[in-house]
Amino acid sequence: MIRPAAKAALVALALSTTALSPMAFAAPAAASISVPPIVYKERVLANGLKVFTVRDTTTPNVSVQVWYGVGSKDDPEGRSGFAHLFEHMMFKATRNMPNETLDRLTEDVGGFNNASTYDDFTNYYEVVPANHLERLIWAEADRMGSLVIDEAAFASERDVVKEELRQRVLADPYGRLFALYMPQQSFTAHPYKRPGIGSIEELDAATVDDVRAFHATYYRPDNAALIVAGNFDEAQLTALTDKYFGPLKAPATPLPKVTVVEPPRTAARTVNTYGPNVPLPAVAITWLAPASADKDAPALTVLDAILSAGKSSRLYDSLVYEQKIAQSAFSSGPTNAQPGLFYVGAIMAGGKTVEQGETALLAQVARLRDTPPTEAELAEAKTGLLADAVRRREEIDGRAFALGYALLTDGDAARANTSLAELQAVTAADVQRVAKKWLADDRRTAIRYLPESARPAGEKDNTPVPPKVASVKFDGTVVTLAPEAERQKIPAVAAPVAAVMPTPVEKTLANGLRVIVARSSDLPLITADLTVRGGASSDPAGLAGTSSLTADLLTEGTTTRSAVDIARQTEALGANLAAGSGWEASSLTLNVIADKAAPALAIMADVARNPAFKADELDRVRTETLDSLSVAYQRPGSLAAYATAPVLYAGSAYGHVAG
């Protein structure tokens, strides 16, 4: 147990004014979480650029994001991976910025930058101190309108992407399953079937003219949205946007649109796929699903949560906890701008088969087709989804991301707010209805993923062969880095914006426990963190991983609550309760909506004070940990990390694997 003593501290952040008096646990009868709407302004420039602003004067920072309506589905034929490749190119030079300038404008001032490529869009985002806003607006406009695409940058970034493909897809035990085989085997016509990261063959076939043409086609103001969230003056931001983005011209050529329609499935299908480094077999079962904005999507989202959200979900409870046939289980609902997929899947436990997994997964889907979920399951799923929405809105970049995702996926930024009401309105009958409509037994595709050694003699590889396509010839303007004397000067940094930091209040209880409380947000969220001194550096000799295993077992049962009780009760509250161990400390962390804090803290206290450490739970968690290690040993990065501590810190308390 974690004893309240001088070596422990409880820290509660984002505290609301809700009283924290102890009370007995009571599951909510229905989802009752109120998600504060994102308040934003919208306008459109003459060149078609959409501009969204979310003002928040409680932060000293600002997030600048540019979302482009081009994703992996828009990759040219024979050039899969192009949208992702171009994401990398956007961080190179422009007419006015040498290579790495964007890093200097963000990382050197305590901020960060990043980007991501999805099926339907590519987004670029930064968070910096608010007085650097003009610099980022200028930089984003410069790389939209005058990116340098030359042979050197193209060759360099193509090699980076190829190495990323090797590490994340080919070297990872399940990279092929998720990145290659699931899309390739689930679609027959729609370009969602092409892997977003591409292929070595198609990347090698590309030329710098292909990349220049791609940029000219899609990276234009009328295919983009600028989203700014944080502490800024509205009039000043309007002037900056007009100054830097206003002069950019939208091409006269129309934007290409993907109009391919995936044909409906007419029969069930099973396909075997293989990988060279598969420690545990896996299976995924896919169905064609509606677009994210479809009227059936909210019910399918709730169905997805019932199946796989948390340890009380049906897939975890059945396949991982009860039957112990899977190391992990998962599902996913509609997330695409055009009709995509719904899927369920599992990575099997040691000694278990994909046939067992497939049977168990289909049984859980059949249950939802045959019988609606209970009201308790429905409430828990919706509560969790809405609580997660609140958590994503804690930070300014999360609010900006919600608007961009709704705009590029659902076609309307307002759906960042309205879609939550649609989730609230889902009924148990709706869940059963969409399960019957979309997850029919005769329209599934089961993708079994097995080690290469299991391939029958003579069976051919059914991976699609990339098409050979001639490169285009680009005859547009080619931008080069201007001589230093001719470049636009980077805008000056404005006066700093004062940060208003939380004021902590501390109290030491009679038993020695330090309690530190600080209010840091107006959002109805509370985070409580109980931290004790003692982590992996305290593992007994010859028992590496003891601290980590102890933390894992904390939430697996107390003297009055079973592991299932803890999972169901916390998730019914929309709370996240997790334990973890580092080198010097171990912690138990709770995140919960403020008005559910009292029952959630009661569960947290029970977990901290009264862990049961039952032998059967120890055996189960140890087996799951060993299965996870068998997977990690096939990941080069994980293997290197395991070797680091014994080499660097041999003979010390840090000279072993933490767990």
- Specify the pairing of strand 445-451 against strand 8-13: unpaired
- pLDDT confidence of residue 639: 87
HSE-CB at 468 with a 13 A cutoff on CA atoms is 0
- CA–CA distance, 79 with 215 (Å, rounded to integer): 14
The DSSP element (H or E) to which 639 belongs, if any, is helix 636-648
Task: Give 508's DSSP letter.
Answer: E
- pLDDT confidence of residue 437: 98
> Residue 93: how many CB atoms within 10 A of its CB?
24
pTM (two decimals): 0.92
Per residue in 304-348, pLDDT (tens digit) is 999 999 999 999 999 999 999 999 999 999 999 999 999 999 999
- pLDDT confidence of residue 589: 97
- pLDDT confidence of residue 5: 39
HSE-CB at 346 with a 13 A cutoff on CA atoms is 31
CB 325 within 8 A of CB 261: no
Q: Which residues of the chain have pLDDT under 50?
A: 1-7, 13-31
- Specify the pairing of strand 340-348 against strand 326-332: antiparallel
- pLDDT confidence of residue 189: 97
Tell me the residue type at 604: M
SS3 345: strand
The DSSP element (H or E) to which 204 belongs, if any, is helix 200-205
Would you state the structure tokens that stand for residue 215, as one six-digit string? 């940029």
- pLDDT confidence of residue 633: 87
Which domains does the chain carry?
Answer: 8-32+501-631 (3.30.830.10), 41-258 (3.30.830.10), 269-454 (3.30.830.10)
- pLDDT confidence of residue 22: 32
- CA–CA distance, 232 with 235 (Å, rounded to integer): 9
Distances (CA, A) of 346 to 278, 359, 376, 619: 13, 11, 25, 21
Single out the residue of 193, 207, 423 nearest to residue 286, CA to CA: 193
